[in-house]
């Protein structure tokens, strides 16, 4: 067995805490959701599809979380730059179409380090963002949005 350590990442217990908080917010606003948490490598750690949530939103929730990890920012920060005429228009077609560049994906940060991300889908993008924010808040008060001025060229980041 090779010596070394594995990258520190969100634990399963923490992922469940994030999902529980997101589910509570979804119930509060009356919108069933698909909620996914990925680890620091963008791999699925936990997922829940609430009763009534769209089946088609399962991969969208997972991919919102993945996108947050891939670009180290909340997905809403990518929205303007990826619109037609934007400096990175077409980015959503990269990674085999796995990138999601609209709200609902939020990084999960501990001690200044991104440890995972949450992705939420089924509601409006505003509802998705609200539920993701509630979930991220259960992880850490340190969950942040990358300064949007840094998103002008995420490929260079």
| CA neighbor of 26 nearest in space, from 53, 44, 45 | 53
Question: Where are the domains positioned within the chain?
Answer: 12-147
Query: CA-CA distance, 151 to 149, in Å (whole number)?
Result: 5
Residue 121, both tokens = 């889908």
**What CA–CA distance (Å, rounded) separates 53 from 14?**
23
Give the SS3 label for residue 113.
strand
Helices and strands of the chain, counted as H and E runs:
3, 4
pLDDT tens digits for range 69-85: 999 999 999 999 989 99
Sheet holding 44-49, edge to edge: 44-49, 34-39, 113-121, 105-110
Residue 142: the pLDDT is 40
Interatomic CA distance for residues 118 and 38, integer angstroms: 7
Report pLDDT digits (tens) over 123-146.
Answer: 999 999 999 999 999 997 444 443
pLDDT band at residue 112 under the 50/70/90 scheme: confident
Mean pLDDT of the chain: 87
pTM across the whole model = 0.85
The pLDDT of residue 155 is above 80? no
- Tokens representing 130? 């609200």
> Which pLDDT band, with edges at 50, 70 and 90, does 95 fall under?
confident
Please state which of the four CATH numbers 3.60.15.10, 1.20.20.10, 3.30.450.150, 3.40.50.300 is assigned to the domain occupying 12-147.
Answer: 3.30.450.150
């Amino acid at each position: 067995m090779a010596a070394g350590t594995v990258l520190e990442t969100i634990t399963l217990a923490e992922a469940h805490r994030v999902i529980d908080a997101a589910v509570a917010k979804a119930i509060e606003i009356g919108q069933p959701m698909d909620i996914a948490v990925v680890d620091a490598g963008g791999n699925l750690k936990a997922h829940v599809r609430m009763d009534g949530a769209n089946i088609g939103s399962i991969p969208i929730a997972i991919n919102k979380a993945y996108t947050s990890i891939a670009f180290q920012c909340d997905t809403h920060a990518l929205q303007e730059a990826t619109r037609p005429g934007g400096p990175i228009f077409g980015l959503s077609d990269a990674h085999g179409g796995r990138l999601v560049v609209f709200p609902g994906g939020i990084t999960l940060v501990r001690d200044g380090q991104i440890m995972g991300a949450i992705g939420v889908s089924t509601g409006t993008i505003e509802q998705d963002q609200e539920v993701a924010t509630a979930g991220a808040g259960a992880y850490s008060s340190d969950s942040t949005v990358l300064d949007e001025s840094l998103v002008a060229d995420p490929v260079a980041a």
